[in-house]
């Protein structure tokens, strides 16, 4: 074997071994050689590529500029891509345009100038960047929304508390009616902030171990009776689906939201598919949605054959108050709640839609390794007689002045004596100085060195006889996830009813 033959064989092997596309052309742009990766990237047979101009690999807008770029480089030597590299677009034989990174080198062989282009497909990277940007945007909106909802919870706590205190002051019938209407409106406001909290992943979920087929089967049966005969709902539930840990009520609400959205998108009639199956998240999925840990999931898919969603609508679909149905009374909170609920449950949501073809949502829930369900929180009957204190002293710790004043009034109204602190630091100093109390009733999120959990930790270590009840506008499953602790926190969530406060304080004292 001659050296020239050996060199040619080595070059051929290098070209075929390269995972990136390699295209060799002359100075006129005629393709002289391509490797297997180039054939796969552009979906063209190598024989069809060789002898053609490189412009067949470019979208029209770039192709019309190519000859001018090459002529300018040959004439002046100025480098715009050669030796530098640039992100450009490629054109596949099926007409699809895709992003790629192009690096170009040149050499001379027997007096002929040759250009060697190395092309790397950026489709997966761009998809990952877009998914990450979308996730970061939603996280930022969620943080802002959660903060606003938290502040509204404090306001509603004051409003509801004062209204309840007025209601207990033996008002006239006309006054009682006004108080009742105001309380009902405040409760609607509380419901709104709860929905916003779910989007912000700060909702108060009550997860239990469930088989999605059972919960979704019951919900679908109900929807079939209510959505209308013009809409056909089909189900495809895989056998042997793993159990997951979710809040069944929020799961039903999410499925109903998706179904009603699908109904609106399908017009006067349509077909909807609800499917459940086991899925393993691997690198393929990670390229689509990076904010998710690899592992085993159960996927709940809701697909319709409706009008589909525009690119802009898809990008903003999960933002609170964004809606394409404002004329028909849409609030823009339905999909935001679905997104927040799934993410707070440890899963993630995918959205695929094509205009005129339909939309498919995928809800991914991590597989539950144990079948042991979390105990449900006890329900409170507002009509029962509220248990009262017997002169015990409660230290109220709250940084918000209005909430602090109201909290003191509410605790006093239940028959307790009160002491007041404006921060965890001040409360701890008061206890260290010898203040004697029976219960510490503290907000969880406060300025200073000691938040509610830190204060609780110090109390348990230094004043083990003291009882602690925490309250917060945030949900415990989020707050405790950001604080180092080794025991779960029992939190009274704002805005709370007077009966709830009475029950929690009494339960603490009775259990001691």
Identify the CATH number of the domain in which residue 479 sits: 3.40.50.2300
Between CA 9 and CA 7 the distance in angstroms is 5
Q: With contact defined as beta carbons under 8 Å apart, do 394 and 411 qualify?
A: yes
338, 240: one domain: yes
Tell me whether residue 380 is in a domain: no
Q: Which of 103, 89, 96, 100 is nearest to 124 (CA)?
A: 100
Whether the per-residue pLDDT at 191 is higher than 90: the answer is: no
Least confident of 200-204, 290-294, 371-375: 371-375
- What is the secondary structure of 137-180 as a DSSP string? HHHHHHHHHHHHHHHHHHHHHHHHHHHHHHHTT---HHHHHHHH
State the pLDDT at residue 481.
42
Q: Compute the distance between CA of residue 47 and CA of residue 8 in angstroms, rounded to an integer.
A: 19
Q: Between residues 347 and 206, which one has the greater pLDDT? A: 347
Placement of tokens 């839609």 in the chain: 353
Residue 386 falls within a domain, yes or no? no
Looking at the predicted structure, is the pLDDT value of residue 284 above 50?
no
Is residue 216 domain-shared with residue 195, that is, in the same domain?
Answer: no
Instruction: Please state the length of the chain.
Output: 512
Q: How far apart are CA 9 and CA 21, in angstroms?
A: 18
- Please count the CA atoms within 13 angstroms of the CA of 95 that sit on its side-chain side: 0
The whole model's pTM is what?
0.41
H or E element that contains 339: helix 334-344
Task: Considering only residues 138 and 271, tell me which one the structure prediction assigns the higher pLDDT.
Answer: 271
Q: Are 124 and 100 in contact (CB under 8 A)?
A: no
pLDDT band at 68 (very low <50, low <70, confident <90, very high): confident
Same domain? 101 vs 221: no
CATH number at residue 268: 3.30.565.10
Q: How confident is the model at residue 141, as a pLDDT?
A: 54
Can you give the pLDDT at residue 175?
Answer: 85
Residues 313 and 439 in one domain: no
pLDDT exceeds cutoff 70 at 142: no
398 and 479 part of one domain: yes
Claim to verify: residue 140 and residue 106 sit in the same structural domain: no
Short-list 280, 292, 288, 278, CA closest to 347: 292
Residue 295: band (very low, low, confident or very high) from pLDDT cuts 50, 70, 90: confident
Residues 259, 326: Cα–Cα separation, whole Å: 18
Show which of 98, 121, 144 is a domain's final residue: 121
Asked if residue 371 is part of any domain, the answer here is no
Of 78, 101, 121, the domain-final residue: 121
Structure tokens belonging to residue 444: 């969880």
Tokens of 470: 């925490």
Reported as half-sphere exposure (CB side, CA atoms, 13 A), residue 192 has a value of 17
The pLDDT-based confidence of 307 (bands split at 50, 70, 90) is confident
- pLDDT value of position 465: 92
423 with 437, same domain?
Answer: yes
Judged by average pLDDT, the poorest of 206-220, 297-311, 415-429 is: 297-311
In a domain, 344, yes or no: yes
**Is the pLDDT reported for residue 81 higher than 80?**
no
Rounded to whole angstroms, the Cα distance separating 38 from 181 reads 71
* DSSP assigned state of 81: S
Candidates 313, 329, 337; CA nearest to 149 is 337
Do residues 325 and 434 share a domain? no
Q: Is residue 388 part of a domain?
A: no
Tell me which of 63-77, 96-110, 341-355 is least confident: 63-77
Q: Provide the 8-state DSSP code for 400.
A: S
pLDDT at 286: 41
Domain ranges, residue 346:
209-366
What pLDDT score was predicted for residue 432?
A: 95
pLDDT score, position 426: 95
**Measuring CA to CA, how many Å separate 478 from each of 247, 471, 475, 481, 485?**
15, 14, 6, 5, 13
User: Has residue 387 been placed in a domain?
Assistant: no
Instruction: Quickly tell me which residue has 């109201």 as its tokens.
Output: 406
8 Å CB contact between 394 and 418: yes
Q: What is the mean pLDDT of residues 296-318?
A: 81
Among all chains, which residue has been given the structure tokens 């192709």? 63
31: which strand partners? 25
- Choosing from 199, 222, 239, the residue where a domain stops is 199
Look up the CATH number of the domain holding residue 91. Answer: 3.30.450.20
Compute φ and ψ for 284, nearest 5 degrees. -60, -45
Give the residue-averaged pLDDT of 408-424.
92
Residues 507, 389: Cα–Cα separation, whole Å: 11
Contact 88, 100 (CB under 8 A): yes
* pLDDT > 80? residue 431: yes
Number of separate domains in the chain: 4
pLDDT at residue 247, as a whole number: 85
CB neighbour class for 172 (10 Å; exposed up to 12, middle 13-18, buried from 19) = exposed
Same domain? 117 vs 133: no
Q: At 470, which helix (H) or strand (E)?
A: strand 467-472
Would you call the peptide bond into 495 cis, given omega within 30 degrees of 0 as the criterion?
yes
Name the more confident of 164 and 288.
Answer: 164
**pLDDT given at position 435:** 95
Same domain, 95 and 167: no
Q: How far apart are CA 471 and CA 424, in angstroms?
A: 13
Q: What is the mean pLDDT of residues 70-97?
A: 75
Cα–Cα dist 68/95, whole Å: 24
Radius of gyration of the chain, Cα coordinates, nearest whole angstrom: 32
pLDDT at 494: 67
114 and 138 inside one domain = no
Beta strand 208-210 pairing with 244-246: antiparallel
Residue 1 located in a structural domain: no
- Residue 56: is its pLDDT beyond 80? yes
In this predicted model, which residue has the larger pLDDT, 459 or 173? 459
Which residue's entry shows tokens 């409106």? 185
pLDDT of residue 161: 83
Q: Is residue 358 part of a domain?
A: yes
* pLDDT confidence tier of residue 441, bands split at 50, 70 and 90: very high
The rounded distance, in Å, linking the Cα atoms of 437 and 324 is 55
Name the least confident of 208-212, 283-287, 401-405, 435-439.
283-287
Mean pLDDT of 185-213: 67
Range from 120-129, 229-238, 345-354, 373-382 that averages highest in pLDDT? 229-238
The CATH code of the domain that includes 181 is: 1.10.287
357 and 213 share one domain: yes
Look at 111-115, 259-263, 287-291, 397-401 and tell me which has the smallest mean pLDDT.
287-291
Q: How confident is the model at residue 482 (pLDDT cuts 50, 70, 90)?
A: very low
Structure tokens belonging to residue 13: 């092997």
Neighbours of 7 (CB within 10 A): 10
Give the separation between CA 404 and CA 415, rounded to whole angstroms. 17
Reported as a single tens digit per residue, the pLDDT across 326-384 is 444 444 456 777 887 888 888 888 787 777 778 888 898 999 875 443 443 444 444 34
User: CB of 469 within 8 A of CB of 505?
Assistant: yes
């Amino acid at each position: 074997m001659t050296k020239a033959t050996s060199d040619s064989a080595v070059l051929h092997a290098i070209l075929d071994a390269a995972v990136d596309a390699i295209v060799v052309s002359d100075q006129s742009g005629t393709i002289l050689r391509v490797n297997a990766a180039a054939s796969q990237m552009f979906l063209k047979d190598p024989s069809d590529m060789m002898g053609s101009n490189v412009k067949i690999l470019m979208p029209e807008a770039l192709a019309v500029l190519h000859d001018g770029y090459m002529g300018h480089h040959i004439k002046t030597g100025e480098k715009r891509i050669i030796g530098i590299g640039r992100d450009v677009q490629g054109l596949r034989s099926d007409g699809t345009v895709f992003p790629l990174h192009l690096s170009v080198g040149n050499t001379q062989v027997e007096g002929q100038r040759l250009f060697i282009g190395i092309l790397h497909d950026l489709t997966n990277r761009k998809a990952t960047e877009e998914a990450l940007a979308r996730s970061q945007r939603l996280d930022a909106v969620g943080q802002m929304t959660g903060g606003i909802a938290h502040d509204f919870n404090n306001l509603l706590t004051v409003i509801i508390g004062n209204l309840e205190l007025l209601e207990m002051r033996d008002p006239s019938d006309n006054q009682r009616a006004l108080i009742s209407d105001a309380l009902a409106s405040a409760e609607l406001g509380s419901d709104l902030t709860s929905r916003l909290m779910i989007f912000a992943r700060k909702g108060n979920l009550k997860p239990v171990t469930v088989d999605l087929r059972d919960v979704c089967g019951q919900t679908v049966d109900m929807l079939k009776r209510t959505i209308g005969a013009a809409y056909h709902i089909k189900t495809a539930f895989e056998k042997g689906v793993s159990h997951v840990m979710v809040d069944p009520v929020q799961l039903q609400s999410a499925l109903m939201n998706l179904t009603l959205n699908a109904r609106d998108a399908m017009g006067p009639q349509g077909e909807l598919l609800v499917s459940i199956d086991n899925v393993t998240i691997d690198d393929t999925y990670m390229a689509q949605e990076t904010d998710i840990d690899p592992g085993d999931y159960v996927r709940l898919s809701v697909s319709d054959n409706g009008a589909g969603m525009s690119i802009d609508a898809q990008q903003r679909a999960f933002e609170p108050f964004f809606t394409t149905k404002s004329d028909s009374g849409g609030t823009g909170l339905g999909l935001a709640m679905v997104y927040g609920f799934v993410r707070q449950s440890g899963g993630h949501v995918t959205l695929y839609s094509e205009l005129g073809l339909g939309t498919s949502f995928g809800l991914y829930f991590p597989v539950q390794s144990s079948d042991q369900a979390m105990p449900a929180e006890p329900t409170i009957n507002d009509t029962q007689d509220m248990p009262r204190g017997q002169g015990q002293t409660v230290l109220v710790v709250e940084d918000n002045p209005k909430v602090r004043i109201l909290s003191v009034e509410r605790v006093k109204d239940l028959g307790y004596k009160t002491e007041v602190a404006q921060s965890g630091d001040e409360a701890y100093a008061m206890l260290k100085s010898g203040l004697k109390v029976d219960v510490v009733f503290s907000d969880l999120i406060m300025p200073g060195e000691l938040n509610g959990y830190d204060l609780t930790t110090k109390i348990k270590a230094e004043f083990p006889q003291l009882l602690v009840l925490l309250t917060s506008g945030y949900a415990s499953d989020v707050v405790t996830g950001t604080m180092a602790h080794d025991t779960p926190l029992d939190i009274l969530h704002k805005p709370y009813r007077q009966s709830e406060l009475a029950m929690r304080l009494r339960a603490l004292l009775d259990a001691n």
